[in-house]
């Protein structure tokens, strides 16, 4: 074979490999749902008052990532009657990497002290299999009167 044929064949093989690698790394959207349970580990700065902070940890079982652990950092941003507003960040630890998100939500306190939580969040990154993670989710949860734990479900879309 001539040098030109070898060069052309080599170039074709390189372009084919590049095309396959870009296809393999293409990002795709995944709808998911998850059950979550978390508990308060620590509080500071007058929590649950405005400006107060809390660290929560717990478990999740997701239709996409499987079982894992959650760590939340929350800050109270406002109180209006029986509605508490907050912002925070979360890291979900899964077998194949992590999911990082930022969120804002409310906790509506019932007459008996129970809580109904509504959260909207967006994914801002991930590691491992979930590198470059983006997406959004909604979480709805409840806490019994006097409880330090919240259980609920989230639904959303992950793109990685």
Domain coordinates of the chain in residue numbers?
Answer: 27-159
pLDDT in tens, 133-156: 999 999 999 999 999 999 999 999
Task: Yes or no: say if 142 and 150 are a contact pair by the CB < 8 Å rule.
Answer: yes
Q: How far, in whole angstroms, is CA 159 from its chain's centroid?
A: 12
pLDDT in tens, 56-87: 999 999 999 999 999 999 999 999 999 999 99
Q: How far, in whole angstroms, is CA 15 from its chain's centroid?
A: 36
157: β partners: 31, 136
Which helix (H) or strand (E) segment holds residue 39: the answer is strand 29-44
Question: Which class in CATH covers the domain with range 27-159?
Answer: mainly beta
pLDDT in tens, 114-137: 999 999 999 999 999 999 999 999
Number of residues written out for the chain: 160
93: β partners: 69, 98
């Amino acid at each position: 074979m001539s040098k030109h044929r070898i060069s052309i064949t080599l170039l074709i093989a390189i372009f084919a490999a590049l095309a396959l690698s870009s296809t393999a790394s293409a990002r795709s959207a995944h709808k998911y749902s998850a059950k979550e349970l978390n508990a308060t580990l620590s509080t500071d700065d007058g929590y649950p008052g405005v400006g107060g902070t809390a660290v929560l940890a717990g478990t999740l079982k997701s239709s996409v990532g499987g079982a894992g652990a959650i760590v939340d950092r929350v800050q109270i941003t406002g109180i209006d009657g029986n509605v508490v507003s907050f912002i925070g960040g979360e890291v979900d630890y899964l077998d194949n990497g992590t999911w990082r998100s930022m969120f804002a939500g409310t906790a509506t306190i019932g007459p008996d002290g129970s809580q109904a939580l509504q959260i909207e969040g967006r994914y801002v990154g991930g590691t491992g299999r979930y590198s470059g993670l983006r997406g959004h989710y909604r979480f709805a949860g409840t806490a019994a009167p006097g409880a330090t734990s919240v259980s609920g479900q989230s639904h959303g879309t992950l793109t990685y």
